[in-house]
């Protein structure tokens, strides 16, 4: 079945079984390796992408359900202040969780430019970080909010 949608602002067209997980299509058909496979069970958040600006577990979403929708992956965040903030806070160790976390952070900052600590924690609640850098990640999101507030808007 042919499925049309957009990814990071570019039209995409794939011919796959519509029950194929969106994550598999992104990684294997479209060569976008940013979103990662962790659990495959909507339990870790490593695969998070935006569908029409809402965070979605790409491992659990059938690609047939996104026909005509807009998908954004972590690749779309190149140059976003979140990157500098995560570097400044040294928020990544292995980095496996970060692609998904950056996506949820982007969605949060889009709807709540100056989030409270509680709002940051709630926005990242669906994500696991096995390296234990949770506090650095939270501080990085807060730092990104500050950078955006000072006009480093992308
Ligand atoms: S791989 Fe999708 S939530 Fe873990
Ligand atoms: S930095 Fe390794 S899982 Fe989060």
Q: What is the pLDDT of residues 5-61, one digit of tens each?
A: 999 999 999 999 999 999 999 999 999 999 999 999 999 999 999 999 999 999 999
Give the position, in ligand 1's atom list, of the atom nearest the Cα of 38: 1
Q: Is 123:104 a contact under the CB 8 Å cutoff?
A: yes
The pTM of this model reads 0.96
* CB of 57 sitting under 6 A from ligand 1: yes
Query: Is 136 part of any domain?
Result: yes
Ligand 1 centre distance from Cα of residue 49 (Å): 11
Establish if 98 belongs to a structural domain.
yes
The answer as to whether 154 is a domain residue is: no
83 lies in some domain: yes
User: What is the C-alpha separation between 100 and 47, in angstroms, rounded?
Assistant: 6
Number of H helices, E strands in the chain: 5, 5
Q: What CATH number is attached to the domain comprising 100?
A: 1.10.150.120
In this structure, the answer to whether residues 40 and 99 fall within a common structural domain is no
CA–CA dist 120, 135 (Å, integer)? 11
Contact 49, 73 (CB under 8 A): yes
pLDDT over 90 at 64, yes or no: yes
Does 43 contact ligand 1 (Cβ within 6 A)?
Answer: yes
Q: Are residues 84 and 70 in the same domain?
A: no
Q: Please indicate, yes or no, whether residues 16 and 71 belong to a single structural domain of this protein.
A: yes
59: Cβ below 6 Å to ligand 1?
yes
Of 75, 100, 127, the residue at which a domain comes to its end is 75
Ligand 2: residue whose CA is nearest its atom 4: 129
Question: Does the structure show a pLDDT above 80 at 113?
Answer: yes
The verdict on 35 and 99 lying in the same domain is: no
Residue 153 has pLDDT above 70, yes or no: no
Per cent of the chain over pLDDT 70 is 98
The alpha-helical segments, DSSP class H, found in the chain are 22-24, 81-88, 98-111, 117-123, 134-149
Burial profile 97-130: b = 16 or more Cβ within 10 angstroms, e = fewer: bbbbbbbbbbbbbeeeeebeeeebeebbebbbbe
Domain boundary among 53, 75, 97: 75
What is the 8-class DSSP label of residue 27? I
Quick one: 71 and 7 in the same domain? yes
Closest CA to 75 of 58, 60, 61, 63: 58
Residue 151 has pLDDT above 90, yes or no: no
Pair 83, 49 in one domain: no
Ligand 2 pocket (Cβ < 6 Å) reads 92-97, 129-131, 133
| Rounded mean pLDDT, 82-95 | 96
- 152 has a pLDDT exceeding 80: no
Quick check: 133 pLDDT over 60? yes
Q: In ligand 1, which atom is closest to the CA atom of 128?
A: 4
For 112, the domain range is: 78-149
């Amino acid at each position: 079945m042919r499925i049309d949608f957009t990814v990071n602002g570019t039209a995409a067209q794939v011919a796959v079984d519509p029950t194929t997980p969106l994550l598999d299509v992104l990684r294997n058909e479209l060569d976008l390796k940013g979103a990662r496979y962790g659990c495959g069970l909507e339990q870790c958040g490593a695969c998070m992408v935006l569908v029409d600006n809402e965070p979605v577990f790409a491992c659990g979403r059938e690609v047939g359900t996104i026909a005509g929708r807009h998908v954004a992956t972590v690749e779309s965040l190149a140059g976003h202040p979140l990157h500098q903030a995560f570097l400044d806070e040294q928020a990544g160790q292995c980095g496996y969780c970060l692609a998904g976390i950056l996506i949820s952070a982007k969605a949060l900052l889009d709807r709540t430019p100056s989030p409270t600590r509680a709002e940051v924690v709630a926005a990242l609640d669906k994500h696991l970080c096995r390296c234990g850098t949770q506090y650095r990640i939270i501080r990085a999101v807060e730092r990104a909010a500050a950078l955006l507030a000072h006009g480093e808007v992308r």
